[in-house]
Chain A
Amino acid sequence: MPRSNPQLSANGELQHLLSIEGLPRPVLEQILDTAESFVGVTEREVKKVPILRGKSVFNLFFEPSTRTRTTFEIAAKRLSADVINLNVAVSSQSKGESLLDTVANLSAMQADIFVVRHDASGAPFLIARHVKRHEHVINAGDGRHAHPTQGLLDLYTIRHYKKDFARLTVAIVGDVLHSRVARSLIQGLTTLGVPEVRVIGPQTLLPGAVEALGVRVFHEMRAGLKGCDVVVMLRLQHERMRGALLPSAQEYFKHYGLTQDKLAAAKPDAIVMHPGPMNRGVEIDSSVADGPHSVILPQVTFGIAVRMAVMSIVAGN
């Protein structure tokens, strides 16, 4: 049954944004171009456009998140939508209500867009299969699977600073195994024609068949960073720092933490990105995070424009 791409309508329009995987290049470019037009809006004195006036956006977060939820909320409000924030992690789910029951109930309250975060990979796909025709689902992060709006804002940032994807070498460093950000970004980069995407990390933090994603694998950081135009650092969750995956945060930082010294292996004009929130001194040194190569704060600003673009496109289709 669910083998066809569930995010596109029969005529190839974006119905839901569930994953970057399977989205054709023109759709990605349409999102990035639309986001570019919204960057201007976010810099105006009156930061609102009436595109989603009268529409309701439900932020449905089954997993706690402040940052992503807030940026979606800001994006929806700048499009003049009504925003309802639901922290489901502490309400209905703990009473045993099933995921689909929760969604059916909210659907009865006339939602137009569901922004969903869930700790189980694939949960937004399940929801998208059961919502009404006029309702749209945007994945705000599902398990280890995908975080497509983060991937798109990363792509936007890279395009903003580097222009041409076809000449780039991009390295993604750290816990790829548990990272939905990494999966979404890798799929976006390969779709947009980046010739070399690298992942750098210890074997314990790389998925079993990582090469199947179309990346080159490096275990030694300087070798992996050599000649890179873009360095994307991944967050290392606290619970993974000590145990069977890694012995300690210190040893991790020594080998995979981004320092000025290691960054010197990359191209002189390389940019450094991080999806946030950062663990300074674990995956990234403060002097790099705050240094001239860092584009970590512009990423946040672009994130709002990208989310505005995604919401306006799905709601318009």
Chain B
Amino acid sequence: MRLAIRNARVVDPASGRDGMGEVFVEQGRISERFSKADRVIDAGGLVLAPGFIDLAARLREPGFEHKATLESELEAAAAGGVTSLACPPDTDPPLDEPGLVDMLRRRAQALARSRVYPVGALTVKLQGAALTEMAELAEAGCAAFSQANAAMADTQVLWRALQYAATFGFPVWLRAEDAWLAKGGVAHDGEIATRLGLPGIPAFAETIALAAILELVRATRARVHLCRLSSARAVELVRAAKDEGLPVSCDVAVHHLHLCERDLGYFDSNCRLDPPLRSERDRDALARALAEGVIDCACSDHTPVDEDGKHRPFAEAEPGATGLELLLPLTLRWGAAQALSLAATLARITCEPARVLGVEGGRLAPGAPADLALFDPDAPLLIAPETLRSQGKNTPFLGHELRGRVRCTLVAGQVIYGA
């Protein structure tokens, strides 16, 4: 089938293209211009961009189907314009066996929605003790290996894991957090935790672990992607590591670009996040670092939690926020605040994560997969339980009106959402 999308503001972050025009699709891929289309979509002047690529979206299967299912979360992804997503291995059981990964991929393929890239567990049951069969898991379709939010207290195991991954060239995705320093903590160890009497997680729980990871990268030359940076000091460590030429990349969760410890207000459990929201200074440093490219990508860190998990005292609430449907509006808001062009803004959720994930999407060049998002950057989007398609209604932005509404999403040239 040949599809033409006309009358669109075509934005391709990879090439910097931004202008009115058309995009042609043939056999699921972007094609050169052709004259006879089987179907024409009139974009009505809306923005047409590569579909978004989210480096962290929990689909909650297997094991947590009461919180969310593949069906519900892939519908949320489609509504959010997310055409590819990486799902962390912290399911139950964790993604530490090829059979589980295979099953997840088949389930996702059968639903024919967004592309799902499972991230395999780095250690068996994410316990931080024994390595998983990484080569087998890679064959089953794992794009990278990670501990998700599980602790990796034993640095010798981490060293061995990086050596082993480097042997095969597998990327390792790590969140830097010292398990001992973070033990028992639920909020940034700062002014607000002091006032509210919440056990704190100091910023150096991140930087100490990060410094250890960077030393191990220097020693092993493993390709490491650092997940969810949360502090200004961590940004500086990554900047220095990149200047030195270490093979590292990193991301930040969209929430951390806009929120800080103050947003906890009077114990808002929707602001209970991993890593914790830190100071205003940290938030501003993260937002700037993403603009400068020290931080490569923004991700949703999508974590649907049911009401029971959030209707608890702050420290007992389950961490996480729903995010797939907020990725675009929160990224747009960040880009506007940093005075970036639309193409530069969207790069952080298209071509940059494509590079980290090692996939060919995230751009509009002929031959690239026809994964597309058509959106109105100015249309208001009310964040409310009834408007969210994700089964998780937990977000600090509940009740907020954001801007940026997806009208149509295509994966491999097939419309999966909208007209």
Contact = CB atoms under 8 A, between A and B. Distances in A.
Interface of A: 1-3, 5-6, 18, 21, 98-100, 118, 120-123, 125-126, 130, 142-146, 180, 183, 207-210, 212-213
Contact of A120 (B200, B265, B316): B316
A218 to B, nearest CB: 17
A279 B197 CA distance: 23
A126 B311 contact: yes
Given A1-B398, A3-B268, A121 B314 contact: yes
B189 interface: yes
Nearest to B267: A122
A3 B195 contact: no
Contact of A121 (B189, B263, B267): B267
B268 A2 contact: yes
B315 A120 contact: yes
A183 B270 CA distance: 24
A49 B103 CA distance: 70
A207 B267 contact: no
Interface of B: 189-191, 193-200, 202, 263, 265-270, 308, 311-316, 398-399
A132 to B, nearest CB: 17
A1 B197 contact: no
Contacts of B263: 3
A99 B190 contact: no
Nearest to A206: B194
Contact of A99 (B200, B270, B312): B312
B315 A207 contact: no
A36 B12 CA distance: 72
B23 to A, nearest CB: 41
Nearest to A100: B311
A99 B312 CA distance: 7
A210 B196 contact: no
Consensus secondary structure, chain A interface: loop
B200 A207 contact: yes
B262 to A, nearest CB: 9
Nearest to B269: A126
Contacts of A126: 267, 269, 311-313
A18 to B, nearest CB: 8
B202 A145 contact: no
A1 B399 contact: yes
Contacts of A146: 197
A100 B203 CA distance: 33
Contacts of A2: 265-268
B197 A208 contact: no
A180 B194 contact: no
Contacts, number: 90
A122 B194 contact: no
A122 B195 contact: no
Most interface-central of A142, A143, A146 (chain B CB within 10 A): A143
B195 A183 contact: yes
Contact of B266 (A98, A100, A122, A183): A122
Contacts of A122: 196, 198, 266-267, 313-315
Given A1-B268, A142-B313, 6 more contacts: A6-B266, A18-B266, A122-B315, A125-B267, A126-B269, A209-B190
Contacts of A1: 265, 268, 270, 398-399
Contacts of B191: 209, 212
Nearest to A208: B189
A120 B194 contact: no
B196 A121 contact: yes
B189 A5 contact: no
A203 to B, nearest CB: 13
30 contacts: A1-B398, A2-B267, A3-B263, A3-B268, A6-B266, A21-B195, A99-B312, A99-B313, A100-B311, A120-B312, A120-B314, A121-B313, A121-B314, A122-B313, A122-B315, A125-B267, A126-B311, A126-B312, A143-B197, A143-B198, A144-B199, A145-B197, A207-B200, A209-B193, A209-B194, A210-B194, A212-B190, A212-B194, A213-B194, A213-B195
Given A208-B202, A212-B191, A5 B266 contact: yes
Contacts of B308: 98
Nearest to B316: A120
Contacts of A21: 195
Nearest to A182: B197
Contacts of B398: 1
Contacts of B267: 2, 121-122, 125-126
A5 B194 CA distance: 18
A194 B269 CA distance: 33
Query: What are the nearest 4 A-B pairs in CB distance?
Result: A144-B197, A122-B267, A145-B197, A120-B313
B198 A121 contact: yes
Contacts of B200: 207-208
Contacts of B314: 120-122
A212 B195 contact: yes
A1 B269 CA distance: 10
Contacts of B193: 207-209
Contacts of B311: 98-100, 126, 130
B400 to A, nearest CB: 10
A130 to B, nearest CB: 8
A147 to B, nearest CB: 10
Most interface-central of B190, B199, B313 (chain A CB within 10 A): B313
A122 B268 CA distance: 9
Contact of A144 (B198, B266, B312): B198
Contact of B313 (A118, A207, A212): A118
Nearest to A126: B313
A123 to B, nearest CB: 4
A212 B189 CA distance: 12
A217 to B, nearest CB: 12
